[in-house]
Amino acid sequence: MIIIRKVAELLDFVEHQKEQGNAIGLVPTMGALHAGHLSLVERAVSENPCVIASVFVNPTQFNNPTDLATYPRKEEDDFRLLAQAGVTAVFAPEVDEMYPGGPEAQPRHEFDLGTAAEVMEGKFRPGHFQGVAQVVSLLFRLCRPTRAYFGEKDFQQIAVIRNMIKTEGIDVDIVACPIKRADDGLALSSRNALLTPEQREVAPEIHKALEYSVGYAREHSVRATHDTVVERIDAVPHMKVEYFEIVDARTLLPVEEWEESPWIVGCITVYCGEVRLIDNITYKKEI
């Protein structure tokens, strides 16, 4: 595996791969890799002769400076795991390499991300998806991937990126990969490393409440299902639901009746102490 730090070097590498006729699989990450990331990498390696993984903690998608400062960074471990998984190249630039002169010096480009970017994470983390679109579109332009791999834990992010490539005219297959969970059900996330032992012990309640609610939903309304999840999680020490929305999986707009859409998911964000965890569950998929 080669380690690329500079954009110019990345462009040469990509050009060489294109000349060889190689399809490129891209796995964008912010590092602190776990088995969830590695499942994306494994899939990318099985589907593309060349795989680029990026490791870049993108400052423009953080609306909370403490969140950015405390975001876990484990570059050496990340590189070892990526090499073991068979990645061809890792792109791990400094902030200045991605945003010359700093993020503020970049020409302002407002991405049209549709209504999917205005709800849930978009509402609670203003500017977050503009930052995600900025870095992901830049990575797409630099790496020219045939396929790009994202985890379904960030369900809304995938919908927003799909909108972004449409409006920006970027030709890439977005491959959505299933959530990876710890044995106790907690969705794997780099942020889990920030949980105290007490918080880590209760964090699986998020998935347990969501799973329970799938059975509950068969005999109850959308509103009652929503409320039972929020009540159950809020009753757990250390935990506070920020939002829980039961939505149409394509528009991400809330539904009021189970009959309203053939594909319905529940998306949740919970503060476990100071750590913000997200997860989701499918209630219905009839498409």
Which residues are the active-site residues?
37
Rule CB under 6 A: say whether 154 interacts with ligand PAF.
Answer: yes
- The set of residues, in sequence order, having a beta carbon less than 8 Å from that of 134 and lying 6+ positions away, is 58, 60, 61, 106, 109, 111
Q: Which residues inside 216-275 make contact with ligand PAF, applying CB under 6 A?
A: none
Q: Reduced to 3 states, what is the DSSP secondary structure of residue 182?
A: coil
CB of 153 to ligand PAF, least distance (A): 8
Do 150 and 116 touch, CB atoms closer than 8 A?
A: no
Q: Compute the chain's Rg from CA coordinates.
A: 19
- Nearer to ligand PAF by Cβ, of 146 and 228: the residue is 146
Looking at the Cβ atoms of 14 and 139, the one nearer to ligand PAF is 139
Query: What is the x/- site pattern for ligand PAF, positions 46-65, by CB under 6 A?
Result: ------------x--x----
Virtual torsion, Cα 7, 31, 88, 8, nearest 10 deg: 0
User: Is position 132 an interface residue for ligand PAF (rule: CB under 6 A)?
Assistant: yes
How many other C-beta atoms lie within 10 A of the C-beta of residue 281? 22
Q: How far is the CB of 155 from ligand PAF (least distance, A)?
A: 11
Using CB under 6 A as the binding rule, whether residue 10 contacts ligand PAF is answered as no
Contact pick of 32, 38, 133, 136 for ligand PAF (by CB under 6 A): 136
- Which of the ranges 45-53, 93-101, 128-136, 214-222 carries the binding residues for ligand PAF, by CB under 6 A? 128-136
Question: What would the 3-class secondary structure string for 217-278 be?
Answer: HCCCCHHHHHHHHHHHHHCCCCEEEEEEEEEECCCCCECCCHHHCCEEEEEEEEEECCEEEE
Q: How many chain residues touch ligand PAF (CB under 6 A)?
A: 10
Residue with smaller CB distance to ligand PAF, 48 or 225: 48
- Residue 126 CB, shortest distance to ligand PAF, in Å, is 16
Please give the distance of CA 156 from its chain centroid, rounded to a whole number.
8
* Residue 48 vs 61, nearer CB to ligand PAF: 61
What is the C-alpha to C-alpha distance for residues 260 and 246, in angstroms, rounded to an integer?
Answer: 11
- How far apart (Å, rounded) are the C-alpha atoms in residues 142 and 93? 12
Q: How far is the CB of 82 from ligand PAF (least distance, A)?
A: 14
Q: What are the distances in angstroms from CA 22 to CA 97, 145, 152?
A: 26, 10, 26
The stretch among 22-30, 89-97, 174-182, 252-260 that binds ligand PAF (CB under 6 A) is 22-30
Binding site for ligand PAF (CB under 6 A): 28-30, 58, 61, 132, 135-136, 154, 157
